[in-house]
């Protein structure tokens, strides 16, 4: 059960010009524990 949590901003780690030069990617998490909601809260 993959869970979508957001998107990247399309900026590289070394970006100093605040430009969106890299592609925007989706971020997904795969919970390893059944009670992950309780552990995150």
Domain limits of the chain? Answer: 3-38
* Confidence (pLDDT) at 35: 85
Task: Report the 10 Å Cβ neighbour count for 10.
Answer: 13
For position 24, what pLDDT does the model report? Answer: 84
Q: For every residue of the chain, which 3-state class applies, written as one string?
A: CCEEEEECCCCCCCCCCCCCCCCCCEEEECCCCCCHHHHHC
Using one digit for the tens of pLDDT, what is the confidence trace for 1-41?
Answer: 899 999 987 777 676 777 667 788 999 999 888 887 787 77
Distance in angstroms (rounded) separating the CA atoms of residues 26 and 18: 20
Res 27: pLDDT: 94
């Amino acid at each position: 059960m993959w869970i979508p949590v957001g998107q990247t901003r399309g900026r590289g780690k070394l970006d100093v010009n605040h430009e969106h030069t890299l592609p925007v990617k989706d971020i997904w998490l795969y919970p390893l524990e059944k009670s992950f909601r309780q552990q995150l809260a």
